[in-house]
Chains A and B, each alone.
Chain A
């Protein structure tokens, strides 16, 4: 009898050991259950991350790209991990890149290499083999824009784009706040060939003293465009213009464009644009002051539209910042995000701006086609077959949590084709080349009531 008791105790210990193996692994029991098929799609847990306040401006990110040749989804996370998942949510491979947060992602045309940018004390740009996740080469942004760990000022590769030869153009950037509250900007555009040999850097011998969030390249006009987005323009700043057009072969400045600001703003800021049209003839950009603009390849303004005109209500200037600008086949597309108080984005606004969280589509001659308004910020848009998949994230004004999810729109008329709801805000989205599958990354958030909604997970939906 006592032997049986001993065996029972040992069996329970063995079971506990197995459970510990499970619990201490990446796929803990609750995560395994959450990755099961839920009818219209699957969800896969991407690991624990700190849940951030719902109302904060900088929020949890996620990166996602559809890989046609592998019929798989490439996912980059704030935990510094890169995954390749198949359509059923099964992990093909995972590569941990260490202490950084992955902030930018681009895939070569032959889909053999992915270029990943991180924010970390080194701020590496990685070239990673898409077959197995091996690092082919890397470049540390720290070398060009520096690092000040004591001030928690870390470099990052904020945006990456590639040309037809898979040459890589990346924005290295570092922001620092001084003790007196002054802001310091350090930006540099760097170009590499696909083997990691540096082609050029702009500017050659100094840093751009402004925020450079975005860049795009075009093979038909051989230009790279950079946009600036500094909070303010100071007299001592050298790079005060809004856009810089650079020769993509030499890295020499072709010209720079200053877009005059509109009241009550003191400078024109572009955060998620401009982007060239496929043929390189047009350049579409949305400004934070709420304007949508179309330029020619030389940077001359062809037309501009007021997407969300700043308005003064109860002595408060409010507006919905413009962010994305695309010159696509369906037309010129712009988006706006949440309503913000001009004085300080954290302050409340008396009303929502009627044009916030919207997508505006225009013909190339500037005539208005339609507008689609989402209930939360369109965090990212991906296109396929005249459709747009939008990641709908937070609405910091209404706290409408039902808005979170992925929306699929018909780009011809803005009709909503599908909506897939997520509990937490959806921060990134991608659509498969045939438009049948959509994948998105949901982030957890702490609501003002102190409740945590959502989790850091990948969703794959079938349309």
Chain B
């Protein structure tokens, strides 16, 4: 699979490709809200699992799974490890001591370096938030034709210029990846270095300029093409058909997200003194699951 194919939504299951752009964007937005609102580690974990299940059911190819796995692992473990080391809140319970405070020089400078138990959990929560969004974002990216998303944004009366720019950013992701690959190959051939990870790392600092030059050239072509086609002069499009089933699911999800946000807000207010006895069940539920 080429680098370009890796970032394109060409091999996903039919149902995922057929989903309306609006449905995908709406779900992405609602999950983003949930990722902010929910604090309970287990609930976040379940949401994250749900996004992975979406990939499974969309039959994401093994190469894409590899990319997804690497990105998720970097995010999750990076967040957990950094928070475990530098967790600044209390209470914090050291699990391991990496640098003893009594150690000469380093110990005195750092005041001791520990792996904190609460930091691992905190890092996991933050990591799950970003992992969930990354996973769902890639799902949308890998199952959607950019035109689908463009249509969705325009139907929502978003300014065509902004919609176009947003979609172009997504559309250019695979192109950019492919071009970066080409530039690295070219650099490698010129310097006559062997194939391997080391050679890629060696050439990384030099890819920015040629990549930027190519991007500018492509942007110029794109701009000319858009202007010549009169893209932004088009009158407001008629509402595209949105499948009733998808609409229904979206409505349910909106109600669910509003409910959860409401629960969280009233719970936080209750902690600040604005408590209503009738909402006790909501407070309890929020404390236990959100």
Contact = CB atoms under 8 A, between A and B. Distances in A.
Given A13-B69, A20-B124, A99-B284, A147 B62 contact: no
B184 interface: no
A98 B273 CA distance: 17
B181 interface: no
B172 interface: no
Contacts, number: 101
A21 B45 contact: yes
A9 B76 contact: no
Interface string B77-88: 100000000000
Nearest to A6: B66
B98 interface: no
A23 B275 contact: no
Nearest to A7: B62
Interface string B49-87: 100100000000011011011101100110000000000
Most chain B beta-carbon contacts within 10 A, residue among A21, A50, A97, A121:
A121
Nearest to A97: B284
Q: Is the interface of B mostly helix, strand, loop or mixed?
A: helix
Interface string B25-48: 000000000000000011011001
B91 A48 contact: yes
Contact of B73 (A12, A96, A99): A12
Question: Chain B: interface residue count, which band?
Answer: 35 or more
Contacts of A16: 72-73, 76-77
A394 B72 CA distance: 46
Contacts of B283: 98-99, 121
A149 B267 CA distance: 13
A99 B124 contact: no
A142 interface: yes
B92 A452 contact: yes
Contact of A20 (B48, B69, B118): B48
Contact of A6 (B42, B65, B91): B65
Nearest to A51: B91
Nearest to A31: B117
Contacts of A9: 65-66, 69-70, 73
A17 interface: yes
B109 interface: no
Interface string B249-290: 000000000000000000000100111010010011001100
Given A17-B49, A20-B48, A98-B283, A446 B76 contact: no
B30 to A, nearest CB: 21
B42 A25 contact: yes
Most chain B beta-carbon contacts within 10 A, residue among A98, A122, A444:
A98
A87 interface: no
Contact of B275 (A6, A10, A121, A452): A121
B95 interface: yes
Contacts of A17: 49, 52
Nearest to A138: B280
A452 B90 CA distance: 9
A3 interface: yes
A106 B73 CA distance: 49
A455 interface: yes
A440 B261 CA distance: 39
A121 B280 CA distance: 9
Contacts of B120: 23, 28
A112 B70 CA distance: 53
Contacts of B63: 6
Contacts of B117: 28, 30
Contacts of B141: none
Nearest to A140: B277
Interface in B154-171: none
A205 interface: no
Contacts of A99: 270, 280, 283-284, 287
B94 to A, nearest CB: 9
Contacts of B121: 23-24, 28, 48
B284 A98 contact: yes
A122 B277 contact: yes
A96 B42 CA distance: 15
A71 to B, nearest CB: 29
A121 B270 contact: yes
A5 interface: yes
Contacts of A455: 93
A13 B72 contact: yes
A23 B124 CA distance: 8
A53 B99 CA distance: 26
A151 B76 CA distance: 41
B41 A24 contact: yes
B275 A98 contact: no
A20 B131 CA distance: 12
Contacts of B65: 6, 9-10, 13
A147 B275 contact: yes
Contacts of A28: 117, 120-121
Given A23-B121, A30-B117, A10 B69 contact: yes
Contacts of B49: 17
Interface in A17-35: 17, 20-21, 23-25, 28, 30
28 contacts: A3-B62, A5-B66, A6-B65, A9-B70, A12-B73, A13-B68, A13-B72, A16-B73, A16-B76, A20-B48, A20-B128, A23-B124, A24-B45, A30-B95, A50-B91, A98-B280, A98-B288, A99-B270, A99-B287, A122-B277, A140-B277, A147-B275, A149-B270, A149-B273, A149-B275, A150-B273, A444-B93, A452-B92
| Top 3 A-B residue pairs of the complex, sorted by shortest distance between their CB atoms | A98-B284, A24-B41, A6-B66
Given A50-B90, A121-B275, 17 more contacts: A6-B63, A10-B65, A12-B73, A13-B68, A16-B76, A17-B52, A20-B45, A24-B42, A28-B121, A48-B91, A98-B284, A99-B283, A99-B287, A121-B277, A151-B273, A452-B90, A452-B91
